[in-house]
Amino acid sequence: MMMFHSKPRRTLSPSFIFFFLFFFISLSFASKTTPKHHSQSLTYLWPLPSNFTSGNHSLSVDPLLTLSVIGNGGVASSPILDAAFDRYKGIIFKHAGFEFGKGFVRKLRERISLIAYDVVGLNILVHSDDDELQLGVDESYTLSVSKASESSVAWEATIEAHTVYGALRGLETFSQLCSFDYTTKTVQIQKAPWSIQDKPRFAYRGLMLDTSRHYLPINVIKQVIESMSYAKLNVLHWHIIDEESFPLEIPTYPNLWEGSYTKWERYTVEDAYEIVNFAKMRGINVMPEVDVPGHAESWGAGYPDLWPSPSCKEPLDVSKNFTFDVISGILSDMRKIFPFELFHLGGDEVHTDCWTNTSHVKEWLQSHNMTTKDAYEYFVLKAQDIALSKKWTPVNWEETFNTFPSKLHPETVVHNWLVSGVCAKAVAKGFRCIFSNQGVWYLDHLDVPWDEVYTADPLEFIHKESEEKLILGGEVCMWGETADASNVQQTIWPRAAAAAERMWSERDFTSTRNATLTALPRLQHFRCLLNRRGVPAAPVTNYYARRAPDGTGSCYDQ
């Protein structure tokens, strides 16, 4: 094992120390109060850990907190953890001049060690050097804030995880334990000692982002990914393309992005790489979607032969080999960018009138003795075969399962959205399933309140353990018809956080209590935490999501 330590502090002359002695001692002994909106009986961590115990000590945290990474196999440090520690240190110590390289107090603290801070370092132990990020990667961790020994007065903060991604989740929890005390002007950890053992309930905890209905700039997508990491979500389902626009560069078929709204509302290959790598650094996979055969009118702007006819533009023309050549080219190019094992092929809302109303497609159907339902099945299965040939596992919206379940490839992941109970039917037939019931987990439905989001469960109507294991998890969906860069974050948060706790925390722990008493104050607290971190999360209890506050008041009561 090897350890990585940050640079030690310097010292200052005794006369300079004496000058500031009274100032720092006064700060260290200032009184501490509990905000009136806090209940001492609640634990203000979101999502709630699987198991935890706490005490009654208040600890001060050194603004020059050091990191020690202990890895197996001779790894002295991890770029992913080093970058994450820098991010979280900036979050934790953003007040009172402690932000990186700024402020008189920080410069002074670099030179003297006058205050005896309780927590001066964070130790991270990672058992595996493998940083591959795929579905089911181990995200478990333990976090302890405790005395170094029974006889010691020093305290230690330690995160232990099997992978760097578990350590990332532990870092998020550690950051939520830390809060700035405005009286002492120090960062404090309340209710120490802490012992936390934590792991996610589901392997797949997603957020779908639609960038076709309204283009979202790269920096906005990054902001969404960053905020996802705060709630321990781990899959960005990137709905890049739809009938309205095709903004992504496809080198094999370069005219496809002629279907973008304008030449300024596009994503280059390099942009997509950047998004994937930015997400990986936060333990988040990116699952792209190419929705076929419906929702694809924009494809024909660059290649009109993909339309059944110029006057009847979708679904894609099922009768032409060129259609499937283009799909294969798109997936080949995207496979070089997106390493995640799941690929979403859509398959929803396929209205086949254009196939029967276009003479050459109608003749093709007749010559192949196919109905339009048969052609829909043929198209979906052929697209699945293309995805499988690229070493991708296909994900399809539930219409494919509802229409021809026995014909789908057995590796298919069914994505529920229309009605409840679909996942129960899918797993009963041996398919894996992702829960996104539109009645509760579609974020563009602005009249769905936080508590309905919170109490929805991916395991609804499923009682066999063997079938429960086939539920990968769930996903909240941010469809973009009425959301763009001006309001997308307010629409996502805080309701997405309600679903995030449902997907991370133990079912019994969050389901057997009155949500208004136990979850609402914590969700309001988390919403304010998001605000402090620069995420414009909307008030929790407004009837319509993303609406501004009705009047004056505390962040914690909205």
Active site residues: 349
Residue 495 has, within 13 A of its CA and on its CB side, a CA count of 31
Q: How far apart are CA 23 and CA 140, in angstroms?
A: 42
CA angle 230, 75, 148 (to 5 degrees): 70
Q: How far apart are CA 497 and CA 14, in angstroms?
A: 50
Pairing of the two strands 204-210 and 235-239: parallel
Distance, C-alpha 438 to centroid of its chain? 19
Query: Which residue type is seen at 361?
Result: V
Q: How far apart are CA 313 and CA 304, in angstroms?
A: 9
**DSSP assignment of 229-298:** HHTT--EEEEE---SS---B--TTSTTGGGGSSSTTS-B-HHHHHHHHHHHHTTT-EEEEB---SSS-GG
Q: Which residues lie closer than 8 Å to 215 by C-beta, 6 or more apart?
A: 245, 247, 260, 261, 265, 484
Tokens of 170: 């532990």
CA dist 60 → 53, 241, 493 (Å): 19, 49, 31
What is residue 40's DSSP assignment? T
Residue 506 has, within 13 A of its CA and on its CB side, a CA count of 10
Q: How far apart are CA 151 and CA 148, in angstroms?
A: 8
Element (DSSP H or E) covering residue 507? helix 507-511
Strand partners, 433: 414, 471
Are the C-beta atoms of 543 and 190 separated by less than 8 Å? Answer: no
